Amino acid sequence: MSLIDLELTPDVEDETNAIFERVERVIPRVEWAIHAPYVAAINRLKKERNAVILAHNYQVPEIYHTVADIVGDSLALAMKAAETDADVIVLAGVHFMAETAKLVNPEKTVLVPDLRAGCSLAESITAADVRLLRERYPGVPVVTYVNTSAEVKAESDVCVTSGNAVQIVEALGVPRVIFLPDEYLAKYVASQTKSEIIAWKGHCEVHERFTAADIRRYREDEDNLVVIAHPECPPDVLAEADYVGSTQGMADYVDGIAHRRHPRVLLITECSMADNVSAKYPDVEFVRPCNLCPHMKRNTLAKILRSLETMEYEVTVDPAVAVRARAAVERMLAYSR
């Protein structure tokens, strides 16, 4: 429960009417009466705290469209976090994203609304695992997906996102790399580069649930369906897709086909991605296979408000770990600028 008394008063309605006009296609009016008091209170507190809210594309629309100041995929959030002049960063996403924000903003306060917002992929590997891989493959660069803990990043040479992984592996110019921890993303990168990829068997619990049979079934039911898939999906799923790309790449691809007559789009990724992209494209019909990330959905407006009120939960990184992890993240950002 928030420490602030929340009511849908005429003042709150006045404060939030313009916001609702932007989101009425994705948030029903009957729900807005519940969300509006939180939205108004959060936006007031952000000003008082000199705070910004960073929200990943998988956040629910009432967070993504109404209180977030910066939205995007992991790369976009990392880059924008490095540029903000706010004193406080609230990360509406999962814990490794907040750690990354802290790495590039060591002097700022970084908060997460729920400490339990983890990631199955990040939890699939430890720093000790990386050290053992280095022993087994001496001299081979370690390329690590940002969906990892700070401790794992600290053992790595460079971080990547799904959007820049191929670019960075190619830029390294080496015959082989250790690519961690997503097995399916590693296989996708291997299909796009001549470098040998040594992979780890980590998976995203959302993307690994999709199957090629799912896509074929949707194609049977929908004429002229455009299938857009995230590279964390299994290879047979990617083979059925019309386009494969990062969350930002997927959104950009939708933008490129939005002019088509009655376009139908199937986004093979976390469910809220379609909700958030659809707000911008009223003429695109989104077919929604609803695989939800239980960790992303731990973030709510009520928890974000309480986080700003109480300044909990603060994310910290051991300084000795942070120095090395920051170097790997900064190398990624340098490649991406």
Judge if 15 and 110 occupy the same domain. yes
Judge if 283 and 300 occupy the same domain. no
pLDDT at 42 (0 to 100): 97
Domain boundary among 160, 180, 203: 203
pLDDT at 50 (0 to 100): 97
DSSP secondary structure string, 217-280? HHHHHSTTEEEEE-TTS-HHHHHH-SEE--HHHHHHHHHHHTTSSS-EEEEESBHHHHHHHHTT
Judge if 249 and 176 occupy the same domain. no
Judge if 114 and 131 occupy the same domain. no
Please give the backbone phi and psi of residue 265, each rounded to the nearest 5 degrees, phi first.
-125, 135
Judge if 302 and 220 occupy the same domain. no
What's the rounded Cα separation, in Å, for the pair 68 and 133? 39
| Domain count along the chain | 3
Give the domain CATH number at 180. 3.40.50.10800
Judge if 188 and 112 occupy the same domain. no
C-alpha distances (whole Å) from 148 to each of 138, 176, 184, 311 are 22, 21, 15, 24
Q: Could you tell me which of 267, 262, 237, 233 has the C-alpha nearest to residue 250?
A: 267
Look up residue 21 and give its two tokens: 């006009």
Q: What residues contact residue 160 under an 8 Å CB cut-off, 6+ apart?
A: 143, 144, 145, 146, 168, 169, 332
pLDDT at 1 (0 to 100): 44
Judge if 245 and 219 occupy the same domain. yes
Domain range for 79 is 10-118+296-310
What's the rounded Cα separation, in Å, for the pair 217 and 160? 33
Domain boundary among 203, 237, 252: 203
Judge if 112 and 192 occupy the same domain. no
pLDDT at 333 (0 to 100): 87
Q: Is residue 30 part of a domain?
A: yes
Q: Is residue 335 part of a domain?
A: no
Q: Is residue 159 part of a domain?
A: yes
Q: What residues contact residue 221 under an 8 Å CB cut-off, 6+ apart?
A: none
Q: Is residue 325 part of a domain?
A: no
Judge if 145 and 82 occupy the same domain. no
Judge if 142 and 183 occupy the same domain. yes
What's the rounded Cα separation, in Å, for the pair 63 and 58? 10
Angle 61-64-65 from CA coordinates, rounded to 5°: 80
Q: Is residue 319 part of a domain?
A: no
pLDDT at 48 (0 to 100): 97
What's the rounded Cα separation, in Å, for the pair 44 and 24? 22
Amino acid at 153: K
Judge if 17 and 107 occupy the same domain. yes
Q: Is residue 329 part of a domain?
A: no
Q: Can you give the pLDDT of all 337 residues of the chain as single tens digits? A: 455 568 889 999 999 999 999 899 889 999 999 999 999 999 999 999 999 999 999 999 999 999 999 998 887 888 888 899 999 999 999 999 999 999 999 999 999 999 999 999 999 999 999 999 999 999 999 999 999 999 999 999 999 999 999 999 999 999 999 999 999 999 999 999 999 999 999 999 999 999 999 999 999 987 789 999 999 999 999 999 999 999 999 999 999 998 887 789 999 999 999 989 998 898 899 987 778 999 999 999 999 999 999 999 999 999 999 999 999 999 998 887 7
Q: What residues contact residue 210 under an 8 Å CB cut-off, 6+ apart?
A: 229, 233, 234, 237, 268, 289, 291
Judge if 126 and 112 occupy the same domain. no
pLDDT at 192 (0 to 100): 96
